[in-house]
Structure 1
Amino acid sequence: MKHIYAFEETSEYDKFQTIIQDFTKKLQNYEQFLEDKYELIEKPKGIVWTSFDEATTIFSDLPIPAFTNKDTIYITPDLNAWRNMFLEQLDGKSLPSIQAFYEHLSEKHLLTILGHELTHHSDLFLDEFEDAREDNTWFEEGMCEYLPRKFFLTDSEFEEIAVIETELVNSFTSEYGSRSLSAFGSNSYQARLSSIMFDYWRSFLAVKYLVEERFNHNIQAVFEKYHEWDTEGRKRTLLEHFELDHVFS
C-alpha cells in the first residue's frame, strides 16, 4: 500500500510523522494476520493521512475522519481530534468514567480504527463494501471492530472498551433502541453523531456475543454460519439467521 500525505502545511505532517511511521509498521503485522487467516487478498491501494477537517469536509462529508472510498483508506492521525469527537458523541450526558476514558484515549485505540478500515477489504465479507447492502451491514462493521481490537489490544483493554460501549448502548437505548440492528446506517450519516455511533457499538457487541458466547471463541465458525446464510438464499435477515433478533432486535 502506498502512503499519501494530505496536509495543508508541512508542519502538520511533521507533527504526526512519528505516529504515522509507528502505525505503518504495526499495521504490517495486522495485514499479514488478515492475509493468513481472513482472506485479505486484494488490499487497498493506499492510505491517505490527513487532518480531521480535510477528512470530514474535503475528502468526505462524513463526520467520522476514517473511512474507505473504493480502494483507498482515509484517516486522520490526530489523536486529540479523535478524543474530541468521541466526547462529542456523549451528547452532554453525565457519564464521568466514559468521559475520562475518551479524554485519555490511547494511540492503540486509534490504531484499531485504522485496522477496522483495512479489515473491510477481507474477501470473507459477502458483499462489496460500497454496494447497497441489506440486513448484514451490522455483521461486517461489528467484525471490523472486533478483529483489530482483539489483535492490537490487551485482554484488559479489550474488555474495557466492551464495558464502555455496553454502557453507551444502555445510555442511548431510550433514544435509538427501537431501531433494528438490521437497519444499520438507515438513520443516514446526517444524523447526530451519537445515533451513528449507536449502530457501531451494538454491532461490535453483537459480534462479540456471537464469537465468545455462541461459538466459543471460534471466529471461523462464525464466518461459516454467515456464509451459510448466503448459500441458503438469504431467506431471512442475518440477525434472524444467527438467532439474535430477540437479543439485539
Structure 2
Amino acid sequence: MKPIYTFEIADDLNKYHADITYFHTQIKDFQKYLEDYFQLKDIPNGVFWTSRFVMEEVLEKPVPAFTRDEAIYMCAVQDYWAQYFIALLPESLKDKYTSYYSEHTKDEMLAILGHELAHHIDLFLAEFDEEHPTCEDMWFEEGMATYLPRKFFFDDELFNDIYHLEKSLYEYYLNEFGDLPLEHFTYDIYSHSKEYIMFHYWMSFIKVTQFVSHVDGDVSRLFKLYHDWDTEGRKISLSHYFETHI
C-alpha cells in the first residue's frame, strides 16, 4: 500500500512523514500475515494520511480512521489521537488510564491501521459494495479486526493492558447505554456520540477476545464456526451460535 498525503498545510507533510514511514514499514509484516492465514487478496491501493480538519470537516467522519474498498483513511496527528482516546475516559478512570494513551498512542495507531487493513480479508462475509449490507455479524468483523492486529503487534502485557482498559470503559458505559446485545452494532450507531460508537467497539473486542480464549486461541476455528453459522442459514444470532458450539 502506498502512502498518500492529504494535508491542507504543506508543512504537515514534513511534520508527520517519519511516523507515516514507520507505520508503512511495520504494516508490511501484518499484511503478509493476513495474506498467509486470513485470505487477504484485495489489498487497498493506498493509505490517505490526513489531518483532523480533513477527517472531520471535509470527509465528515466521526472517527479518525476508516476504510473503503479502494483505500484506507487515517488521521496522522498523534496528539489528536491521544486527545480522542483520553476524552473517552470518564473522570473515575482518568487517573488510572490516561498514562496508557500518553505512552502508547503510536502503538494504538499502528493497531488501528492494521484494523482497517483486516477489514479487507475475504473471510468476512460482508462486502464493501453491498448497497444494503446485513449487520448481523458486524460486531464480529469489527471485534476481530481489532483483535488480530493487537495480537500481532502487541506483546502479552500490552495486549492485556488494552483489554482490561477497554473492558473497564465498556463496564462504565453499561450504566449509561444499557446491556445491549452484540447484534445492536449496526451502521446506525455512527449517528450517535463518539462514546456510544466506541462502546460498541469495546464490547465487540472484549467478546471476540473471550470467544477466542474459549477455542484456546485458535482463531481459524472461530472463523470456521462463523462460516458454519452462515451456511446453516443464520437460524440464531451469531453470538448465541458461538455460545452453543464452543
Question: Which TM-score bucket, shorter chain as reference?
Answer: over 0.9
Instruction: Name the residue aligned to 2:204.
Output: 203
Question: What is the Cα deviation at residue 195 of structure 1?
Answer: 0.7
Q: Residues 48-99 of structure 1: CA distance to partner in whole angstroms, max 9, x if unpaired? A: 010122112212x222110012321000121110010112222555531122
Matches within 5 A, 1:147-162: 147-162=148-163
**Whole-angstrom CA distance in 2 between matches of 1:159 and 1:178:** 23
Q: Distance in 1 between matches of 2:93 and 2:85?
A: 14
When the two structures are aligned, how many residues end up with a matched partner?
A: 242
Q: Which residue of 2 aligns with 1:51?
A: 51
User: What is the CA–CA distance in structure 1 between the aligned matches of 2:129 and 2:86, rounded to whole Å?
Assistant: 28
C-alpha displacement of 1:187: 4.8
Whole-Å Cα distance in 1 between the matches of residues 209 and 72 of structure 2?
25
Q: What one-letter code is carried by the residue in structure 2 that aligns with 1:84?
A: Q
Tell whether 2:216 aligns with 1:216.
yes
- Asked if residue 229 in structure 1 is aligned to residue 242 in structure 2, the reply is no
Alignment deviations for residues 141-161 of structure 1 (CA, whole Å, 9 cap, x no partner): 000000000111111000000
Gaps of 5+ in 1: 245-249
More displaced, 72-81 or 235-244?
235-244
The secondary structure found in structure 2 opposite 1:96 is helix
Normalised by the length of structure 1, the TM-score is 0.92
> Counterpart of 1:105 in 2: which secondary structure?
helix
Aligned to 2:164: 163
Shift of 1:188: 2.5
Name whichever of 117-126 and 3-12 sits farther off: 3-12
The secondary structure found in structure 2 opposite 1:95 is helix
Indicate conservation of the 8 Å contact 1:185/1:199, yes or no: no
CA–CA separation in structure 2 for the residues paired with 1:44 and 1:95: 36
> Identity across aligned pairs (percent)?
37
> Counterpart of 1:144 in structure 2: which amino acid?
A
Task: Please say if residues 68 and 128 of structure 2, whose CA atoms lie closer than 8 Å, have aligned partners that are also in contact.
Answer: no
CA contact (8 A) 1:187 1:195 kept: no
Aligned-partner Cα distance in 1 for 2:222–2:168:
25
Higher helix share: 2
- The amino acid of 2:222's aligned partner reads V
Distance 1:139 1:130, change over 3 A: farther
1:204: Cα distance to partner?
0.4
Are 2:244 and 1:238 aligned? no
Amino acid at match of 1:161: I
Give the superposition deviation at 1:176.
1.5
SS at match of 1:243: helix
Q: Secondary structure at the match of 2:189?
A: coil
Check whether the contact 1:185–1:196 (CA below 8 A) recurs between aligned residues: no
Aligned residue for 2:37? Answer: 37
Pair 1:185 & 2:186 matched: yes
Deviation at 1:41, TM superposition (A): 0.5
Is the 8 Å Cα contact of residues 88 and 193 (structure 1) preserved in structure 2? no
Listed as ranges, the gaps of 5+ residues in structure 2 are none
- Distance change (3 Å), C-alpha of 1:189 and 1:93: farther
